[in-house]
Chains A and B, each alone.
Chain A
Amino acid sequence: MAINAIDTIPKEELFVSGHTGCGGCGQAIATKLVLKATGKNVIVVTATGCLETFAGGYLISPWEVPWMHPLFENAAAVASGVEAALKTKHREDIKVVVLAGDGGTFDIGFGMLSGMIERRHNVLYVCMDNQAYVNTGYQRSGATMYGTATTTTPAGKISLGKVQPNKDVPAMMVANGADYVATASPSYPWDLIRKIKKAMEIKGPTYIQVHIPCPTAHVFPESKTIEIGRIAVETGLVPLYEIEKGKLTSSEKIKQKRPVEDYLKRLGWYKHLFASGDGAAVIKELQRVADENIAKFNL
């Protein structure tokens, strides 16, 4: 990576200091990177969730772009309305960008997201996937992986965490007809920026799902957010790829494959899997998922 590449990223901060995000917040980093890639000519809609809470408290707004927080489940629909308004004002140069958590995307907001895609609004929908309803204290969501201990799928004497696998929303977005579907990670910032820029240029519905390591919910030291994101990708549990008009057009090859344990053992909300022998079966299943990803996306 040439030293001058960093100079290609605009210096202006569109997501400034003073927000109340946890130290080391992965979503804050991702939001910053997304806005570096989109530039100022956007309108951002954020669903209720971590981002909205720490970047939209009383007299707290770090947004140097126009921003709206409506409700938990309707970011996609509100974005549709903003996009329609911009069309009538002949300001289609302004791009509408949704930044919503996995809660507002996978579950409560899924119907409206599906509608937005089906109606083909020119909206870039970015899902910040920290794999739980973290804002309200890490309850499970449809994005939570199998075997994860959340407060509503806790590990206990007769439980090893969540019993269902997570939804594959990117695949659903492809089936829904989104023009461009991609997955990304703030630990691979150049890749994320490239993908956002690409989606910005597409005049149609686009969906990018960003894996967000969360020190608070996933339980790891604040300084390790980016490192853990990298490890997650290197296990194959977080495949990074692009699907354009239904065809897989790129995937980020894993430089050095790791077993899923490398990731799981670093996250406190998987510690129950290592506490007794029973966890091994869960780990094995997660390894299978990772291996499947590696094969499917040619990682």
Chain B
Amino acid sequence: MGKTEVMEISRGIAEAIKACRPQVIASFPITPQTHIIEHLAQMVANGELDCEYIPSDSEFASASIVHGASAAGVRAYTASASQGLLLMTEVLWNMAGTRLPVVLTGANRALSAPISIQCDHQDTFSLRDSGVMQMYVEDAQESYDAHIQAYKLAEDPDVLLPIMVCVDGWSLTHAWEPIELLAQELVDKFLPPYHPVQYLTPDNPISYGTAYDDRALMEYRYIMQKAMDCAKSKAVKVADEFNEMFGRHHGGLIQEYRMDDAEIGILAMGSIIGTVKVAIDEMRAEGIKVGLVKVRFYRPFPADEIIKAVKDTRCIAVIDRNISLGAGGALAADVMAALYNFKNHPLVLGCLAGIGGREVTRNTVRNIVARAQKAIDTGKVEEMNEWVGLNPEIMED
């Protein structure tokens, strides 16, 4: 197959992007994604990657550059994190609205203020309404594979939405692990060159970005939503095709782990999946019927798949490494909303953990499972959102 090497995962991501043959890359440094774009720059400098690499003046510019490039009909890539993603926000909405299949990497990092470079999902979650698809990767290999799958999904003529591959800062971006780099010919076979449905060219002078009003904007959003809906089945299809070709499956929209007879289900995203799986194995060995639903795609939101996976549990604990301040964890809220109308749905425990880089350990998972068990025993959930792992010593009285 391909060549397996131990490397910093950021480099693996760069290799994945290189294999996808992007024509325009725009970059701007921000911790913790900087290594990705630096590797790409080196590849270009060495003649390994034939593309226009533009180190720009801000993330707003980077996003704008790839938006323009994609509108002109080429495959484009950029990456950012945290503050940079916030700065890109206006453009990402614009990109989604103009239905352009740009791929970007979001290296998850907390948002200012206070400034922190530690990992949580606050930054990518703040973009959840934008029309940009989001997938969260679990480990090193998936960090590589997911980017290749992302282009295929985004460029599908029935989808045509930008997609962000969310990679946990530090625990993934800066970790060194073995990654199999796939053979270029096979990647080319899986992901053919990009043929845009329409693009800016004097041969066919179209106008992008005209205004809408009450006559048609609602329909426009409806159509975008339908594209998102369509993306669900396409995401599964892409994952299956990838598996067929390369023998690896990281899940479709979700991936179930030991959920068959689980009484307690844990829903989680990103790199903590690994820890959760280990904790589950330990608890299973102790007889606790606990399982995991890895939520791989957050947008589009796999409501049906989640319902199906958890319907037979008695309580599920949703781990949110983010908080919608004034409400609660966003994943938990989406899950609760999905389950609400489903008869006899399990209890749902929203757990705020791992925020600001706070480690999620096996004990954290045990803690969560214990709370879930308590909920099962009492038959109710005390609070909609529970903070897990707070340090009372540094909190004010």
State whether the Cβ of A254 lies closer than 8 Å to any Cβ in chain B: no
Query: Contact check: which of B61, B202, B215 meets A65 at CB < 8 Å?
Result: B202
Q: Mark A55-98, 1 if CB is under 8 A from B, else 0.
A: 01111110111111111011001111111111111000010000
Please determine whether A112 and B64 come into contact, CB atoms closer than 8 angstroms. Answer: yes
Decide: A81 near B200, CB < 8 A? Known: A58-B210, A69-B209. no
The count of chain A contact residues (Cβ–Cβ below 8 Å) is 44
Cβ < 8 Å to B, chain A residues 104-161? 111-112, 114-115, 118-119
B213 at the interface (CB under 8 A from A): yes
Main secondary structure of the interface of A (DSSP, over half): mixed
Q: From residue B95, how far is it (CB to closest CB) to chain A in Å?
A: 9
Q: Which residue of B lies closest to A78 (CB)?
A: B68
Bound Cα distance from A97 to B212, whole angstroms:
24
Whether A43 touches B202, Cβ cut-off 8 Å, given contacts A77-B64, A84-B54, A89-B74, is yes
Decide yes or no: A52 and B209 within 8 Å by CB, A58-B216, A66-B201 being known contacts. yes
> What chain B residues lie within 8 Å of A82 (beta carbons)?
68-69, 71-72, 200
Q: How many A-B residue pairs have CB under 8 A?
A: 159
The reply to whether the CB of A203 lies closer than 8 angstroms to some CB of chain B is: no
In the complex, per-residue mask of B30-68: 1 if CB is within 8 Å of any chain A CB, else 0: 000000000000000000000110101110111011111
**A99 to B213 alpha-carbon distance, docked (Å):** 24
**Does B207 lie within 8 Å of A85, measured CB to CB?**
no
| Interface residue A41 (Cβ < 8 Å from any Cβ of B) | yes
Assembly CA distance A118 to B213 (angstroms): 38
Question: Given B70, B90, B210, which contacts A59 in the complex, CB threshold below 8 Å?
Answer: B210
Q: Which residues of A contact B74 (CB under 8 A)?
A: 85, 88-89
| Chain B interface mostly | mixed
For A78, what are the chain B residues with a Cβ–Cβ distance below 8 Å? 64-65, 67-68, 71
Contact partners of A85 in chain B: CB under 8 A:
23-24, 52, 68-70, 72-74, 76
* B247 proximal to A (CB < 8 A): no
Residues of A within 8 A of B326 (CB): none
Report if B204 contacts A (CB, 8 A): yes
Q: Which of A40, A77, A84, A118 contacts B60 (CB 8 A)?
A: A77
Is B204 a contact partner of A66 (Cβ separation < 8 A)? yes
Which of the residues B67, B204, B211 comes within 8 Å of A53, measured between beta carbons?
B211
CB distance from A177 to the nearest CB of B (A): 13
Residues A45 and B202 in contact, CB atoms below 8 Å apart? no
B20 → chain A closest CB, angstroms: 14
With A77-B65, A80-B65, A112-B60 as known contacts, state yes or no: A61 contacts B73, CB within 8 Å: no
Q: Does A289 contact B (CB under 8 A)?
A: no
B68 touches A70 (CB 8 A): yes
CB distance B51 to A88 under 8 Å?
A: yes
* Chain B interface residue bracket vs A: 35 or more
Which chain B residues border A29 with CB–CB below 8 Å? none
> Considering only CB atoms, which chain B residue lies closest to A39 in the complex?
B202
Give the residues in chain A near B342, CB-CB below 8 Å. Answer: none
- Chain A CB within 8 A of B373 CB: no
**Chain B, residue nearest A72 (CB):** B90
User: Does A42 sit at the interface, judged by CB under 8 A?
Assistant: yes
Q: Which residues of A contact B90 (CB under 8 A)?
A: 71
Contact B94 A71, beta carbon cutoff 8 Å:
yes
Minimum CB distance partner of A64 in chain B: B205
The distance in angstroms between the C-alpha atoms of A65 and B200, with both chains bound, is 9
Interface residues of A in 10-62 (CB under 8 A from B): 40-43, 45, 52-53, 56-61
> In the bound complex, do residue A69 and residue B54 qualify as a contact, i.e. CB atoms below 8 Å apart?
no
**Contacts A66-B200, A84-B24; A74 near B60 (Cβ below 8 A):** yes
> Of the candidates A64, A74, A81, which one forms a contact with B69 in the assembled complex, judged by CB atoms under 8 Å apart?
A81
B236 CB to nearest A CB, Å: 31
Across-interface contacts of A86 in B (CB, < 8 A): 72
**A77 to B60, alpha carbons, bound, how many Å?**
8
Q: A70-B67, A112-B64 are in contact. Are A61 and B210 (CB under 8 A)?
A: yes
Q: How far is the CB of B130 from chain A (nearest CB, A)?
A: 14
Which of A66, A68, A88, A112 is within 8 Å of B61, CB to CB? A112
- Given A40-B202, A82-B200, is A70 in contact with B91 using a C-beta cutoff of 8 Å? yes
4 nearest CB pairs, A to B: A81-B68, A115-B57, A69-B209, A77-B64
Mind listing 17 A-B residue pairs with CB under 8 Å?
A40-B205, A43-B72, A56-B209, A57-B211, A60-B210, A64-B205, A66-B202, A70-B94, A73-B60, A77-B65, A78-B68, A81-B26, A82-B71, A84-B69, A85-B52, A88-B24, A111-B58
